[in-house]
Amino acid sequence: AYLDRIDEHNPGVGAFLRYDAERALTAARHIDERRKAGEPLGPLAGVPVAVKDILAEQGERTTCASRMLEEFRAPYDSTVIARLKAADAVLLGRLNMDEFAMGGSTENSALGKTSNPWDLKCSPGGSSGGSAAAVAADFAPLTIGTDTGGSIRQPAAFCGITGMKPTYGRVSRFGLVAFASSLDQVGPMARSAEDLALLYGAIAGHDPQDSTSLNQPIGDLSTISQPLKGLRIGYAKEHFAAGLDGEVDEAVRTALKVYEALGATLVEVSLPHSKYAVATYYVIAPCEASSNLARYDGVHYGYRSDVAKITAELSAQRAALEEAGERRAAEDLDTPLVRMYRQSRSEAFGPEVKRRIMLGTYALSAGYYDAYYLKALKVRRLIRQDFDKVFEQVDVLAGPTTATPAFELGSLVDDPLAMYLVDLYTVSANLAGVPAMSLPCGFSKSGLPIGLQLQAKPLAEETLLRAAYMYQ
C-alpha cells in the first residue's frame, strides 16, 4: 500500500530521491516467511522505514543530495541502518534533504525538489524535508532524519508530524556523513509519539564505534502511555517575543492550556542568552563543516573533475605564458593536482555549502579564531547553563518550534540570513545537547500545520515522549 502511494504521489511531493519497490517487497516477503516459520522477529518487523540520504548503507548510494557524492556507494552500514536491519524494518529508499544537511527548506538539494504535502507551493522545511514530507504524505509510517540545528523539528512542524532530536550522543553517528560533529544527531520522525518511541528504541543506545556515544540506559519506553503526574512545564518569555506569528503564538498558548487542564503546572522561565543562539550556531556549525568537508578533495571520495582536461588546459596555459615571455606566471600556475582539487570542489558543491566552508574557514583562521570561534564556544556554554537552570525548575520546556508555519518555496532561498533566522527556536537544543521534539499543535487559517516544541534535560527522552503522548 505504501509503495502504491509513493508511485502515485512521489512525482508531486518529491520526498524520495530513490526507492526500490522490488527490494522492499523481497525483504518484506522474507520477513513474512520467517514469521510463518515461527522465528523470533525484531521490534520493527515488516514496518516500512525510509531514511534521509545521509546515512551510509553498504553497497547503496549515499548522496547527501550533493553532486559531490552523487555516485558514491558506501562500503559499510552506518550503525543506524544496521540497527534498522536488525530490527527487521523494511527499508524503502532514500529521502531528499538540503545538500549536506545545510539549509532549512530542502531547496539546497542538488538532486531533487520536495514540496510540503499540505500545500505543494510550500516548503516541507529542511534539512530533513524529505523525511517529514514522506510521513505527512503517508509514504512511510516511520522515517529517519538528522538534526544539527533543527533539521528534524522544523520540517516536522512544517509538515504536521512528530519528530525528535535525542540528547547528543544517544544515537550513534557512526556512518552518518558529518556536517557539524558536535551538533549532529540522528533521530526518529513519525505520526505520533507512540510511533516515535518505537523507532527511537530501535536506533538509540551505546555504540563503541562512535566515541561520543553515551553509555546510558535509554529508559522504559513501554510506559510512555502512562500520564506524568506533577509535570512542571516551563515556557520562556524569550520564545513569545517579537517576530512570532500571531497564529503560532495562539496555538502554542492553547497547547499550554491543554497541559494545564491535564494537571501540569505552568512556570514562566527565562533563557537570557537565547538571543545569541543563532549567531553562535552560525559560527560553530560552519567552522566544523569547513573542517569536515575538507575530505572531499576529488581523491578520497566522490566527484573528481576531468583530470585529462585540466592537464591539457594547464599545458596550453603554460605554453602561452612562456611564449609571451611570462616565465614567472607560467611557474606560478597550479599543479594539475591542486587544480583538480579546486575544480572538483568548485564544480560539485552548491552555493550554500561553499558559503559555509568560506564562513568557517574565515572564523577559524589565525587572527579570527579567538574573536569568533572561541567566543562562540563560550557563549555556547552560557546557553547550556541557561538550560541547566531552567531544568532545575521544570521537567519540560514548551514553546513554538518555528516562528511561522511553512513558507513558500522560493521565498527565502535567495536570502541566506532570512533562512538562518528560521532556526531561532531550534538551534539552542543542539548547542546545549539537550533532547527536543516537535509535535503538531494546530493549523493556521490557511490550513498549514503548527509545531509545538518540547525540550528536556539531557537523557530525558522518556519524559519528552510521555509528555507528547499525554498531549496527543
Residues near ligand GLN (CB under 6 A) are 101-104, 127, 147-151, 179, 285, 423
- The amino acid at residue 337 is L
Please identify, using beta-carbon distances, which residue of 343 and 401 lies nearer to ligand GLN. Answer: 401
| Catalytic status, residue 192 | no
Neighbours of 447 (CB within 10 A): 10
Please identify, using beta-carbon distances, which residue of 149 and 169 lies nearer to ligand GLN. Answer: 149
In sequence order, what DSSP letters do the residues of 416-428 get, joined into one string?
HHHHHHTTTTTHH
| Catalytic status, residue 222 | no
To ligand GLN, the closest distance from the beta carbon of 199 in angstroms equals 18
Please identify, using beta-carbon distances, which residue of 179 and 425 lies nearer to ligand GLN. Answer: 179
Do 141 and 195 meet the contact criterion of CB atoms below 8 Å apart?
A: yes
In sequence order, what DSSP letters do the residues of 143-198 get, joined into one string?
EEEEESSSTTHHHHHHHT-EEEEPPTTSB--TTBPPSSTTT-EEEEEESSHHHHHH
In sequence order, what DSSP letters do the residues of 392-412 get, joined into one string?
HH-SEEEEESSSSSPPBTTSS
Chain centroid to CA 149: how far? 7
Question: 228 to each of 49, 92, 250, 269, 457, how far by Cα in Å?
Answer: 30, 36, 24, 20, 16
To ligand GLN, the closest distance from the beta carbon of 438 in angstroms equals 12
Instruction: Name the active-site residue from 66, 78, 115, 151.
Output: 151
Q: How many residues does the chain have?
A: 472
Instruction: Name the active-site residue from 78, 109, 115, 127.
Output: 127
Q: Rounded to whole angstroms, how far apart are CA atoms 49 and 28?
A: 12
Residue nearest to ligand GLN (CB): 151
To ligand GLN, the closest distance from the beta carbon of 290 in angstroms equals 13
| Catalytic status, residue 127 | yes
Q: Dmax over Cα atoms in the chain, in whole Å?
A: 86
Please identify, using beta-carbon distances, which residue of 317 and 361 lies nearer to ligand GLN. Answer: 361
Question: 394 to each of 232, 361, 451, how far by Cα in Å?
Answer: 5, 39, 21
To ligand GLN, the closest distance from the beta carbon of 426 in angstroms equals 7
Please identify, using beta-carbon distances, which residue of 116 and 148 lies nearer to ligand GLN. Answer: 148
To ligand GLN, the closest distance from the beta carbon of 433 in angstroms equals 14
- Residues taking part in catalysis: 52, 127, 151
